[in-house]
Amino acid sequence: MKKNIGMLLIVALLVIAVATYTKQQMAKDRELEINESLLGKAMDLNYKQTGLRKGDTPPDFTLTTVDGEEVTLSDYKGKKVILNFWASWCPPCKAEMPHMQKYYEKKAKEQNFEILAVNLTSEEKGDRLVEKFLQSYGITFPVPMDEDGSLAKTYQVITIPSTFILNTDGQIEHSIIGPMNEDLLETYVEGIN
């Protein structure tokens, strides 16, 4: 009898897999129906929003970068955006920076994305620190400064590094906590439109 235990397990697991998949698809169809039967955005009121979720358009902002230029999030529609929140006292944020820079240099044009690395300036000990850090790492993407910490609050960024990946329509596709290397960044960015 022992011979068949593994086989039975496999068949049982396959049945579970198919059932799960069918259930998922049915749930998705139902959601679509509901969305179609209600008028567009009115639907949003029915969801209890806790933080930013997939498919949300995050609040727009205009900030000044370390280089003194103004950036507005909505200007980047048509491009994918990697919206990163960081501070120079945070070791994983620092570790992530060179990876973002490398990926930016190699693939930003080809894969149509921009990196906005929002610095939590209100939590920094001095402006020079950020500038020095960026110089020593040769960072070339825009680093907007969240001087009063209000943007981090709006985006409910608690742990850093936090990263939002937005699609070309400016909607959130992924929210990620923790540092990412080049490979992971590319995997996430390539998988969206």
Partner 1 sequence: MNITAIYSIGKMSFPSPWLALVLTFILTGIILRSQFSKTASAQYSDFVLTFILVWKFSVILTDFKMVLQQPLTILYFNGGKLGVVLASLAVFVQAYRKRATFSFAASAWAIALTQSGYQIIMVLVNDNAQWIELTTLFISSIALLMVVRKPTIATLQGFMGLHFIIALLQPVALTQQLSWLLTIVATLAVVKWQKELK
Judged by CB under 8 A, the residue of 79, 98, 147, 168 near partner 1 is: 98
Least separation in angstroms between CB 69 and partner 1: 28
SS3 annotation, the chain: CHHHHHHHHHHHHHHHHHHHHHHHHHHHHHHHHHHHHCCHHHHHHHCCCCCCCCCCCCCCCEEEECCCCEEEHHHHCCCEEEEEEECCCCHHHHHHHHHHHHHHHHHCCCCCEEEEEEECHHHCCCHHHHHHHHHHHCCCCCCEECCCCHHHHHCCCCCCCEEEEECCCCCEEEEEECCCCHHHHHHHHHCCC
- Residue 26 as a binder of partner 1 (CB under 8 A): the answer is no
Give min distance, CB of 138 to partner 1, in A.
13
Closest separation in Å from C-beta 91 to partner 1: 6
Q: Binding segment for partner 1 among 70-78, 121-129, 147-155, 169-177 (CB under 8 A)?
A: 169-177
Task: Tell me which stretch binds partner 1 (CB under 8 A): 37-45, 109-117, 147-155, 173-181.
Answer: 173-181
As measured in angstroms, the least distance from the Cβ of 11 to partner 1 is 8
Cβ neighbours around 62 below 10 Å, total:
11
Stretch in the footprint of partner 1 (CB under 8 A) among 3-11, 61-69, 112-120, 122-130:
3-11
Asked if residue 13 binds partner 1 (CB under 8 A), the reply is: yes
Q: Which residues bind partner 1 (CB under 8 A)?
A: 2-3, 5-7, 9-11, 13-14, 17-18, 20-21, 24-25, 91-92, 94-96, 98-99, 159, 173-179, 181-184, 187-188, 190-192
